[in-house]
Structure 1
Amino acid sequence: MIEWLIEFLTVLLQTVRDVIPIAAIIFGFQFLVIRKPIPHMKQVLIGFAYVIVGLAFFLQGLEQALFPLGKLMAQQLTDPAFIYGGVEELGRVMHWSDYKWVYLFAAAIGFSTTIAEPSLIAVAIKAQSVSGGAITVWGLRIAVAIGVAIGIALGTYRIVTGTPLHYYIIVGYIVVIFQTMRAPKMIIPLAYDSGGVTTSTVTVPLVTALGLGLAGTVPGRSVLLDGFGLIAFASLFPIITVMGYAQLGEWRTKRAHARKLKEKGE
């Protein structure tokens, strides 16, 4: 208990050190540039205290739970004894298809963490509000979550095979460029923002831990060169799926409209 308390106090002090520059900029501009008092100063200071304590608990939780859990799952799923049902064949070279449970786990983690992402929920609520219901909260959340699931699964495949990261990113952004030229204009800014909100408090720790754990257990992989990069997939593929979601909706609307015109003509 004493050891945990010392660790938490260390994290708390580091968090205070990291938050002070942000507070200095905000208060500095308020008092020196805008030159107006901050309304409800007491509530603002209490809020800053909550932020600091909350961040400290969050960072402590990452180190004690999420990072070790992600690495442990990667190690267990890549264990030859698990892959071959408890019978490891000596001298057998692992094939990318042997890691099917890793891909499935990566997709499930990507989908579930994105659905729970607070920043995505906030963006989805605002999008539904300003679009008059044309974009639904759950429609956007599921579209983004599917993109993250596909991206993380493909990213783990890249780690297993050892193929260069930039090939995937270049091809992905070529698809994004073509979609941008064809997608409804109202969805394009939201799609690009949806790629950014996935890299937040819930998704990043687990995905990073999974990548590092997987690179550390797959033979021939470098933790530094191959362990990172999964977050890039989590940011890229939601852009594709959100624009695809809008394009599919537009196509269905046009098809329904054409059917109605055809029925009237008959």
Structure 2
Amino acid sequence: MSLESTGILLVSFEVIQSIAPLIVFFTLFQILFLKLPLSQLIRLYTGLAFTAFGMILFLHGVNNGFLPAGTQIGEFFGESKKGFLIPVGFVLGLLATLAEPSVRVLCYQVEESSNGYIRSNLMLYTLSFAVAILAAISMAKIIYRIPFLYIIVPGYLFVLILLWLCDKDFVGIAFDAGGAVTGPMAVSFLMSMAVGVATAYEGADPVADGFGLIAMIALAPIIFVMLLGVYIRFNGGQKNVQ
């Protein structure tokens, strides 16, 4: 059996192992309480099957595509193109967030729930720019050996200040956005790139310097969305923010 086939089988087993308890729980709930009609059950189980199949394809693609690609890009720039690391981190952070499905879902939900008060495009560009800035800072952290605590602690102290100044409509959105941007695109591509940079960069430690990127990316939208909320609050709370 080929290594590729073994990889698919292993991923398939992991996905089935993960979602099987949810299916069992839903089935018991259906038998005891919901009692949905057969036609609706068929649609639900068909959706679960497609979900499982999609997860298998995605995780197999991550293992064979995104992770190696991110690592190779990081090692290339870490070895020979150190001066480009910060702008490359910015660009890749921007593109990864624009491509992140969970970010787009969040942006659509924000616009719908706010009745157009907060436009989805504004949220998308704010989150993308925020992640790009923190991804660039993460590259600078590796290059200049800046301790992780020197970035993350002041960042969250700044968040505590913004909590008092921000329009309250934006507080919950900001913290949810922190989870949305740390989806599969950021975790699989940007984190592997950071580890690759730290592995190849002379004097850097892959464990101490390569990790922490996801925590910084999660912090980015919290700060920038709250800054947007501060602007809205002190700009008269203008409606239909675009």
TM norm structure 1: 0.82
Q: C-alpha separation between the residues in 2 aligned to 1:127 and 1:10?
A: 37
Q: Which runs of 5+ in 2 are unaligned?
A: none
Residue segments in structure 1 that go unaligned for 5+ positions in a row: 84-98, 256-266
Partner residue of 1:196? 179
Deviates more, 1:45-54 or 1:133-142: 45-54
Deviations 1:77-121 (A, max 9, x none): 1223xx3xxxxxxxxxxxxxxx33111111111111112211111
* CA offset digits 1:232-262 (Å, max 9, x no partner): 011001111111122223444479xxxxxxx
1:156 aligns with 2:154: no
Match of 1:36 among 18, 34, 37: 34
Aligned to 1:5: 5
1:1-266 paired onto structure 2 within 5 Å = 2-32=2-32, 35-39=33-37, 40-80=40-80, 83=81, 99-253=82-236
Quote the Cα distance in structure 1 between the aligned partners of 2:147 and 2:21: 37
1:30 Cα deviation from its structure 2 partner: 4.2
Greater relative contact order structure (CA < 8 Å, 6+ sep)? 2
Distance change >3 Å, CA 170–CA 37, structure 1 → 2: same
The number of aligned residues is: 236
Task: Please give the secondary structure, in 1, of the residue aligned with 2:118.
Answer: coil
Q: Specify whether residues 110 and 36 from structure 1 end up closer, same or farther in structure 2 by C-alpha distance, changes over 3 A only.
A: same
Change beyond 3 A, Cα 1:254–1:133:
closer
Q: Give the SS at the match of 1:135.
A: coil
Larger Rg over CA atoms: 1
Kindly tell me: are residues 217 and 46 of structure 1, through their superposed partners in 2, closer, same or farther at Cα, counting changes over 3 Å?
same
Distance 2:12 2:237 in 1: 56
Q: CA RMSD in A?
A: 2.0
Alpha-carbon distance between aligned partners in 2 of 1:223 and 1:5, rounded to the nearest angstrom:
30
C-alpha deviation, 1:17, in angstroms: 1.5
Q: Note the C-alpha offset of 1:162.
A: 2.5
State the one-letter code of the partner of 2:201: V
Distance 1:189 1:71, change over 3 A: same
- What CA distance in whole angstroms lies between the structure 2 residues aligned with 1:180 and 1:30? 42
Provide the rounded CA distance (Å) in 1 between the counterparts of 2:76 and 2:207. Answer: 20
1 CA distance for matches of 2:113 and 2:42? 33
Partner-residue secondary structure (3-state), 2:127: helix
Residues of 1 paired with 2:47 and 2:4: CA distance?
25
